[in-house]
């Protein structure tokens, strides 16, 4: 086959990773086929979260200004839910919203469709509604894909087909997903007027809040999230599927209970649910990544490569996906010899600080897998706040004794020390 009959790159999956890669390659004159299983880019996505703008700046400076982003996040919040109350830490920083804002809340469906359109405008060919059935190999090298009766060839294939990557499994780079390395997420989009959102979350126009929820799943390992969009709220949970399977409640029931919690309900009151969805997300991060991110002729990017950072306070996936797509594109542009692309990609990930960042947070998942972190400690924090603020006209108990009593009610000193040491090692 002549070079004129094949693409420089075939990218499987039009999410942020694949589309960012397509954009950079096409802008630099490469022939790119962007294959998407859904009817359009973003049609399968239910993710609502945040995008850190530095990643879009890597694709092209200033690109974020035209993107369909929601609110610039200036309030970072952690809410620990008790049975009838909540302890909320609220950090507000105007600097996060100045210049190039640090991050925005984002709705994936419109964002993905927009970014794919930008890649098309650069010259990439988008092919939606295409299911890739097989990889084509020649002497151990990946040289193309099979989709139905069609065989399409390329110098390199990029797998950007998500957390349960069929392509990565076909290539022998990873096994079936492990229930302990992923989370099952469920989310609702709840419409509310812009002014109502700003009033309830103490925001100025265009400002947003990102809230991590702890103790919101009835003891199931995992946590929740709440993001303010322009005229809606993204509310949901991400739970350990193996742990969830041992519970009597479904994930849908847990989300409904979360919505009715007395600390959450006032924030979404009178809102209209316009979208509900559930899907798998990578959870463990660095330790769950494939041992190799490439084969000769094939590269894994984004969720297909397990790229996620979850510190418990910051959840990063979209930005890492985009960075990995840029890294793949740069490796391809710098290497005419296809056999050199894989090692060059790994180096680009290092140079762009993606791999070092994932290594830095490699053990944080162990901290969040401690069951007391999702049940005991949120309840204990609420009880301690109650001791501090409750007034009934009677002589209060000495504060130190009252706090010690609350502590002993929830944990032993041995458990507290063990958890503290475990947390120290994790970070």
The DSSP bridge pattern shows strands 86-92 and 103-107 to be unpaired
Nearest to 31 by CA among 11, 58, 53: 11
Q: Are 350 and 397 in contact (CB under 8 A)?
A: no
Where are any strands of DSSP class E within 176-271?
182-191, 207-214, 222-228, 232-239
Q: Are 17 and 327 in contact (CB under 8 A)?
A: no
Q: How far apart are the first and last CA of the chain?
A: 52
98-131: per-residue pLDDT in tens?
999 999 999 988 999 999 999 999 999 999 999 9
Q: Are 185 and 238 in contact (CB under 8 A)?
A: yes
Q: Give me the pLDDT at residue 4, please.
A: 61
Whole-angstrom Cα distance, residue 199 to residue 203? Answer: 6
Q: What are the angstrom distances between the C-alpha of 412 and each of 129, 205, 367, 398? A: 56, 47, 18, 21
Query: Is 60 exceeded by the pLDDT of residue 43?
Result: no
Q: Are 182 and 213 in contact (CB under 8 A)?
A: no
Q: Give me the pLDDT at residue 46, please.
A: 53
138 vs 2: which has the higher pLDDT: 138
Nearest to 141 by CA among 131, 153, 132, 150: 153
249-285: per-residue pLDDT in tens?
889 999 999 999 999 999 999 999 998 888 888 878 8
322-341: per-residue pLDDT in tens?
999 999 999 999 998 888 99
Q: Give me the pLDDT at residue 47, please.
A: 56
Whole-angstrom Cα distance, residue 322 to residue 318? Answer: 6
Where are any strands of DSSP class E within 218-350?
222-228, 232-239, 272-282, 294-295, 298-300, 309-310, 315-316
Q: Give me the pLDDT at residue 287, please.
A: 86
Q: What are the angstrom distances between the C-alpha of 218 and each of 181, 193, 249, 250, 371? A: 21, 30, 9, 11, 11
Burial status of residue 164 (CB atoms within 10 A of its CB: 0-12, 13-18, 19 or more): middle
Whole-angstrom Cα distance, residue 268 to residue 217? Answer: 18
Based on DSSP, count helices (H) and strands (E) in the chain, helices before strands.
16, 19
Average pLDDT over residues 68-95: 95
Confidence tier at 197 by pLDDT (50, 70, 90): very high
């Amino acid at each position: 086959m002549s070079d004129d009959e094949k693409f420089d790159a075939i990218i499987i999956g039009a999410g942020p990773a694949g589309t960012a890669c397509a954009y950079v390659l096409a802008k630099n004159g490469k022939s790119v086929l962007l294959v998407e299983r859904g009817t359009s880019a973003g049609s399968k996505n239910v993710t609502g979260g945040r995008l850190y703008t530095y990643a879009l700046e890597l694709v092209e400076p200033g690109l974020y200004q035209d993107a369909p982003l929601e609110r610039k996040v200036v309030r970072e919040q952690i809410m620990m839910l008790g049975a009838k109350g909540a302890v909320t830490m609220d950090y507000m920083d105007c600097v996060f919203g100045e210049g190039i804002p640090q991050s925005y809340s984002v709705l994936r469906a419109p964002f993905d469709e927009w970014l794919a359109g930008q890649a098309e405008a650069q010259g990439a060919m988008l092919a939606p509604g295409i299911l890739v059935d097989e990889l084509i190999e020649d002497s151990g090298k990946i040289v193309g894909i099979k989709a139905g009766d069609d065989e399409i060839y390329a110098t390199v294939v990029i797998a950007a087909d998500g957390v349960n990557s069929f392509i990565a499994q076909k290539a022998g780079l990873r096994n079936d997903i492990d229930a302990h390395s992923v989370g099952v997420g469920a989310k609702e989009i709840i419409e509310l007027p812009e002014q109502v959102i700003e009033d309830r979350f103490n925001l100025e126009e265009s400002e947003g809040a990102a809230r991590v929820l702890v103790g919101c799943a009835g003891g199931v390992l995992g946590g929740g999230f709440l993001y303010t969009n322009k005229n809606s709220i993204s509310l949901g949970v991400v739970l350990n599927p193996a742990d969830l399977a041992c519970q009597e409640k479904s994930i849908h029931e847990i989300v409904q209970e979360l919505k009715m919690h007395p600390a959450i309900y006032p924030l979404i009151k009178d809102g209209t649910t316009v979208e509900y969805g559930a899907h798998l997300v990578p959870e463990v991060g660095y330790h769950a990544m494939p041992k190799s991110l490439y084969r000769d002729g094939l590269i894994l990017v984004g969720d297909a490569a397990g790229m996620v950072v979850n510190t418990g306070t910051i959840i990063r996936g979209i930005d890492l996906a985009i960075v990995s797509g840029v890294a793949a594109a740069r490796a391809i542009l710098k290497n005419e010899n296809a056999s050199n692309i894989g090692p060059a990609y790994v180096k680009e990930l290092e140079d762009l600080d993606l791999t070092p960042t994932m290594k830095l947070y490699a053990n944080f998942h162990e901290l969040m897998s401690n069951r007391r972190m999702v049940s005991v400690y949120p309840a204990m924090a609420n009880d301690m706040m109650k001791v501090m603020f409750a007034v009934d006209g009677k002589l209060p108990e000495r504060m130190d004794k009252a706090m010690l009593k609350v502590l002993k009610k929830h944990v032993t000193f041995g458990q507290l020390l063990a958890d503290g040491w475990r947390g120290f090692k994790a970070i």
